Amino acid sequence: IYYGGYTGPFVTANIFLVICLVVMTSSWSENYGQTAKEAAMEQNKERGFMGAVNLVLAQPLIFLCGIVCSLFESSMFIFVFNWTPVLMKPGEPDPPFGHIFAGFMIMCMLGSRLFSLAIHYIPNERIGMYTLCLAALCHASILVVNSEAVHLTAFFVFEMCVGLYFPMMGTMKGQIVP
């Protein structure tokens, strides 16, 4: 067992992991669901994959919601893998990745907070449209402008869009998906 140095917090986290495992296995019971509800659903609808296909064909908004989720979240994962190489320049010292990541998390929280304020004044669909357009502009600016300051600013704004996206899409799915 190695201890100390940079791995100290992770080793300490393992202690709490084991404590939580013991508490969970000794105090949580299994959730078997409600069989009466499942029986009622089985009588009213087809089950399984074909039931989902029929539902998507009957309500095209579900399909469109899935397309938006797939496209935005794939761009988000592409961003996760590519932001560090974009900010690294050959022959220069590495940027402070920890501080930049902390800034990303702050911007994500800011986006979530902006959603909770904006939802009282702007319809959810319009918030989604503005968020997706702004996120697309952030990605496009990386291709068009060759400046580290612009890249970093675009990344921060994109993270704010991520913070706006999750509550917006959760609300949207609650309205669209039965």
**47 falls in which pLDDT band (50, 70, 90)?**
low
Q: Where are the domains of the chain?
A: 60-177
Q: State yes or no: pLDDT of 59 exceeds 60.
A: yes
Q: 5-9, 78-82, 91-95, 162-166 — which one is most confidently predicted on average?
A: 162-166
**144 falls in which pLDDT band (50, 70, 90)?**
very high
Model confidence pLDDT, tens digit, residues 66-118: 999 999 999 999 999 989 999 888 888 989 999 999 999 999 999 999 999 99
* HEC profile of the chain: CCCCHHHHHHHHHHHHHHHHHHHHHHHCCCCCCCHHHHHHHHHHCCCHHHHHHHHHHHCHHHHHHHHHHHHHHHHHHHHHHHHHHHHCCCCCCCCCHHHHHHHHHHHHHHHHHHHHHHCCCCCHHHHHHHHHHHHHHHHHHHHHCCCHHHHHHHHHHHHHHHHHHHHHHHHHHHHHCC
**142 falls in which pLDDT band (50, 70, 90)?**
very high
Predicted structure pTM score? 0.72
